[in-house]
Amino acid sequence: MSDTKNQNRMGWHFNRQINISVLVQLVFLASLIVGSWANLQRQLDILQRDVTMLLQCQKDFTLKLDMLSAKSISYEYRLRAIEKHFSRTNIEDKQIN
């Protein structure tokens, strides 16, 4: 029985030798992972910059739109005042004639 135990122990011996090609493949895989991560970080930085610029443009556009809306309301009141003035003038002219 002790003879079979010795054979089992010998059969399960772990070989720690690493083949050069496996080492090269691991280094290549690690470099691909690091390169992909760096590229992803760069793409995220570009996306963040683009979103920031888009938000700033949206703020600028909103300010301009608010300014145009205020001017439009102002011009509408002016136009109403002018129309009232001309309608009064026309009524006075008709009454005089």
22-52 pLDDT tens trace:
889 999 999 999 999 999 999 999 999 999 9
- Tell whether the torsion through CA atoms of 82, 86, 87 and 88 is positive or negative: positive
Token pair 């703020």 is found at: 59
- What are the two backbone dihedrals, phi and then psi, of residue 14, each rounded to the nearest 5 degrees? -90, 130
Q: How far apart are CA 74 and CA 68, in angstroms?
A: 10
Closest CA to 18 of 26, 7, 6: 26
56-76 pLDDT tens trace:
999 999 999 999 999 999 999
DSSP 46-68: HHHHHHHHHHHHHHHHHHHHHHH
Q: How confident is the model at residue 4 (pLDDT cuts 50, 70, 90)?
A: low
